[in-house]
Amino acid sequence: MAKRHTALTLVATTGLVAAALAGCTSSSGAPATGPATGPATGPASGTASAAAQPSPVAYPHVELDIDDQRGDGTHVLIEDTDLPVAGYVAVYGQAGNLLGSVPVAAGTHRGGTITLGAALDKGAHPLRAVLMADDGDGKFDPARDTTVRELDDRDGDVEDEDFLYTAG
């Protein structure tokens, strides 16, 4: 009985180690550089399935700040980002459709712009921006890149920002 218990423990431990290693990212991908500025990536009408996304990853300090704003409907202005690894800021419409994203380099950045894939119609649009960590390949993929949260955030909410964009 002791041999069987030891064997089961070894199998379970090996499985946990394999699962943990599978979640590690490679540093061989091309990390994003510079502040959060650049063209949108991804389809203008794509959606990210919550079921397909990996679990949020926690870091000691992360920050995303985007204020309510007015504009021509083609760009979203980012106030601040803080992420210890390379990642992305992705902007979603009220229906959950991906409107655009921009790479962010590791570190703290003030200011930045996300170019939307398609211009927003005139009027007020409730939008949501999400801070995400790159999976190591240097390409934004909402199904593979992970949302992030602060390590001491007890409610487990991801680092995101709801804001109102008024176009026109």
Domain ranges of the chain: 29-167
Q: Give me the mean pLDDT over the 115-138 stretch.
A: 97
Per-chain mean pLDDT for the chain: 77
Determine the average pLDDT of the residues in 12-34: 35
pLDDT at 37 over 60: no
Specify the higher pLDDT residue, 150 or 128: 128
**Range from 11-25, 34-48, 148-162 that averages highest in pLDDT:** 148-162
- What pLDDT is attached to residue 56? 87
Mean pLDDT of 32-45: 41
Architecture, CATH, for domain 29-167 = Sandwich (2.60)
Q: Which amino acid type is present at position 106? A: A
Flag whether pLDDT at 17 surpasses 60. Answer: no
Mean pLDDT of 73-90: 97
pTM of the model: 0.69
Q: Is the pLDDT of residue 168 over 60?
A: yes
* pLDDT for residue 52: 56
